[in-house]
Amino acid sequence: MEILVAVIAFAGALLAAIAAGALIQRLRDEPEGWLIAWTVAVAALCLSLGVIGIGGLMGFGAVTFRLYQVTGSLLAPLWLAIGLVQLLAEKAPPRFLAWLFGIALTVVSVAILVFDPLKSEEMGKTLPAGSNFWGLIPGYLLIGVHAVAVLVMLAMLAVAGIKWRNGDEYDTDNLHAALVIVPSGIALVGAMRFTVPPLFTTALLAVAGAAVWYTVLRPLAPYEDDDEDDLAPDRDERVPRRDDRSQRRDERAQHREERPMPQMPPDERPMYRDERPQPGHRAMPEPVPAADIPAAPPRRSSGLGDLVAEYRAGDQEIDYAARMAPPPDAGPATGYIMNGGPPQRPDYGMPATGVVYPGAELFSPAQQQPGSSKPSPTIYGLLTVFTLMDGAGEAFDRLAEATVESVRRGEPDTLVYACHAVKSAPLQRIVYELYRDEVAYRDHQRQPHVERFVNERQSMVLATNVIELNVNAAKVVPLPTAMY
C-alpha cells in the first residue's frame, strides 16, 4: 500500500508542478492577486505530495512530517481561500485585508509548526496523522486555520452565486471557478483534519492541484477579443488580445458605485410619449424644443427590427416629431398648417389611431382648380409607427376596428385613417392619417372614442414614433370592403 501511495503522490506532485509552472507563466502577463495566492497553494501541494512520495518509500521523520503538514494542511487550504477572496472581491479593502490576514497568519503559523516540539518522532512509512504528533498549540492552530478556510470558501461560493444571478459572463466564469475550487478545498481540509486512509488523502491533494489548474485554464482563461487580433511586434504570428480581469473588475465596481441622477419632483416631471398619466403629473400643453426633452427610459427591444431605417435608434425611443419642429420664426414646414396666422404645432399627447375612413375627398372645393391635382394647403397629415407588446396584436386590432367604426360615423372631416399591418414585423402597425385641416385634427383628439383608444392601448404599445407629413399630391378613393 505504501508503494501505491508513493506512486500516486509522485504523479500528483508532477501534475501540481506543471500547474504551478502554468500559473507562474500566466503571472508574467497578468499579475493578478488570485493568481499569486493560488500559485502559493499549488506550489505547497506540489511540495506536500513530493514529501508524501519520499516518506512512502523511505519513511517519515520529524522534518518530512513538519514539511508535509505545513504545506498540505496549512498553506494549501488557506491560500486557496485567499485566492477566492482576491477573485471575487470588487473593492480594494477586502482584498487588502485578505492579503494582510493571510500573510500574518502564514508567518505566525509556520513559525509555530516548525519550532513547536512533537509528541513523538517515531514514524514509519505510513502517512502520519497530524493529531497524533502535534502538541496543544499547533493542534488548535490548525483547527482554527481549517475553520477559517472552510468558512471563507463557503462565503465566497455564496457571493459568486449572488453575483451570477444578475451578472454577465464574467460572473458566470467566477461562479464556475468557485464551484470547482470550493469542493476540492473543503475535501482537502477534511482529509487533513480527520482520519482518512493515506491513499484518499494523497488523491485529494492531487485533485486539489488539478482543480486549480483546470480553473485557470478554462473558466478563468484570458479573455480574447472577438473582433480583431494584434500582431506580435517581433514575430509574424497572431496572438489573442487579453482582457485584464482586474481592470474589468475595477470598472464594474466603479460603475456600480455611480450614483443615479437626481429625479425631478412628480409634479414637475414631463410626460413621455405613450406614458400612462399618473396623479400629480403635469402634462405639457405643447411640445418643447428637442434639446429640452429628456430621454425616455430605455425599453427592452422587441427583437423585430424597425421597418424604416430612421427608427433604428438603439434601445431608446426617439421623439422624431420633436426633432422635426421648425424654429418659431420659420415659415410653414412639413405637416404644419397655415390658417391665416403663424404656424401652430399639434399636441403630441394623443398619437394617431389606426383606422380607415373611405369616401372622403382630399381637395377643398373652394380652392380646387380645373386640371389641377394640388391638394388643399390646409390638409394635415401624420404617419405613426406603433411597436406592440408580444401577444398584443389581436387586442390592438380589435380596439382599432371599434375606433374605426366610431370615426366613420362621427368624423366627416377625417379624410384618411389607414392602419397597416407589416408582414415582416407582426408586432408593428403603421398608421397613415389625413385631416381636412388642423381644426379637424383637434376635434378628432377630443372625441370620446379616441380618448378610449389612447387609454386602452397603453398596455399594448411598446414604442410609438410619429412623423408629420405635407401632402404634395394625392389620389384617394373609397377602399373596397369585405362582403359577408
- Is the pTM for the entire model greater than 0.95? no
- What is the per-residue pLDDT across 273-305, written as a single tens digit (0 to 9) for each? 344 444 444 344 444 454 544 444 443 333 333
Q: 430 near 420, Cβ under 8 Å?
A: yes
CA distance 112 to 107: 9
Which pLDDT tens digit goes with each residue over 418-454?
788 888 888 888 877 888 888 888 888 888 888 888 8
Report how far apart, in Å, the C-alpha atoms of 116 and of each of 62, 64, 66 are.
11, 15, 10
pLDDT at 275: 42
| Res 221: pLDDT | 85
Give the whole-angstrom CA distance, residue 355 versus residue 400. 6
Q: Residue type at 91?
A: K
Residue pair 78/149 in contact (Cβ under 8 Å)? The answer is yes
d(CA 179, CA 189): 16
Q: Cell numbers 481592470 correspond to what residue?
A: 247
pLDDT tens digits, one per residue of 212-264: 999 998 888 876 544 444 444 444 443 333 445 656 566 555 555 544 444 44
Using CB atoms within 10 Å of the CB of residue 132, give its burial: 0 to 12 exposed, 13 to 18 middle, 19+ buried: exposed
